[in-house]
Chain A
Amino acid sequence: MSLPDAHAVGAAAAAFLASFVEFLEALTVVLAVGATRGWRNAGTGAAAAICVLAVVLAAIGPRAALPAAPLRLIVGVLTLMFGLRWLRKSVLRAAGLIPLHDAASSYERARAKLGAGTVGGWDGVALTAAFQVVMMEGIEVVLIVAAVGAGGGALLPASWGAGAALLTVLLLGVALHRPITRVPDNALKCGVGVMLCAFGMFWAGEAIGTQWPGGAWALPLLSVMWAASALAMIQAVRA
C-alpha cells in the first residue's frame, strides 16, 4: 500500500468511526426534541447546523491541505492531543471509573428538560436545542476530518467518511425514531482515540524528520501499539 493510500483509507475509517459516534450522540437529543416539540423544529434546527458545519469545513479545507512541514507538525501535535483525550476517557470508562454513556437516559433527560411544547408550530427553544447539539457534536467532527485529512492530503476521503457516517445515522434515526442504545459506544471511542493518536504521532514524527520503520506501514503498527497500550491500561486500573 502506498503512502497516500494508507493515509486515505485510515483517514476515511477514522473520520467515519468518529463521526458515527458524535452524530449518534446528537441524534439522541434531536429525537428528544422531535418527540416533545415537533419533528419540523428538530429537523430544521439540525439541518441548519449541518449546513453551517459544511461551510466551516469547506472554508478550512483548502488551508488545512497545505503540505508545509510546520503545518503538519501543528496538525500532528493537535491530533495527538485530541486522540489522547478520547483514549483517556474511554480507558477510564472501560475500567469502570467513570460511567459509560447511556443513550436511553440522555434521551429521557433531554425530553424532561424540553417538556411539552407547541407541536406543529415553529418553536425557538426546539430549534435552538436541535441546532446547538448538532453544532457541538459537529464541531468535533469537523476538527477530526480536518485533523486526519490534513496531514496526508486526505481531506476528501475523510469528508466522505464523515458524510457516510452522517447518512447512516440519519437513516437509522428516520427508521427507528428512538435512541440507538445497542452500539458499543465506548469501544468505538477507544478505536477512534487509537487511530487519532497513531495519525498524530506519525505526522508529528514526519514533520520533525523521523524515519518511521516501514514508511506508511508504521501507521497500522502505531495503531496496534496504542491499542495494546490502552488494553493494558484498562487491565491495570480496572476498578
Chain B
Amino acid sequence: MRNFGALARKLASLFVADTALAMFVPAWIAAAWLCARLLPDVPPGVVTFMLACGPVAALWFSVRHAAHAMRSTRHD
C-alpha cells in the first residue's frame, strides 16, 4: 500500500510546479479563449501574444518567488 501511496503522490505532483502556477495556466488559456470568442474585433495577433506571454510571465513570478523564499530561509 505504501508503494501505491508513493506512486499516487508522484502522479499528483507531476503537473503542479507550484499551486499558483498550476491554477494560473488553465485560467489564462480560458481567458484567451473567452477574449477570442467574446471580442471578435480584437486582432488575432493580440490573442496569440496574450497566449504566449502569460505562461512565461507566470513562470518568471513563480521562479522569483521561490528564489526569494529560499534566500530568506537561508538568512534565517
Contact = CB atoms under 8 A, between A and B. Distances in A.
A196 to B, nearest CB: 11
Contacts of B58: 84
A160 interface: no
Interface string A132-144: 1001100110010
Nearest to B33: A208
Contacts of B17: 81, 84-85, 88-89
Contact of B63 (A81, A140, A233): A233
Interface secondary structure of A, over-half rule: helix
B22 A81 contact: yes
Given A77-B29, A80-B55, A212-B48, A88 B14 contact: no
Interface string A54-96: 0000000000000000000100111011101101110110010
A130 B25 CA distance: 35
Interface string A212-226: 110000000010011
Contacts of B11: 139
A2 interface: no
Interface residues of A, number: 42
B16 A233 contact: no
A65 to B, nearest CB: 21
B10 interface: yes
Contact of A92 (B14, B22, B63): B63
A11 B27 CA distance: 26
Interface in B23-76: 25-26, 29, 32-33, 36, 44, 47-48, 51-52, 55-56, 58-60, 62-64, 66-67, 70-71
* Interface range, B side: 35 or more
A168 B56 CA distance: 33
Contacts of B16: 81, 85
B32 to A, nearest CB: 6
A82 B15 CA distance: 5
A98 B70 CA distance: 9
A1 interface: no
Nearest to A88: B17
18 contacts: A76-B29, A77-B29, A82-B15, A87-B59, A92-B70, A97-B71, A204-B29, A208-B36, A209-B36, A210-B44, A210-B47, A210-B48, A211-B44, A211-B48, A222-B52, A229-B60, A233-B60, A239-B71
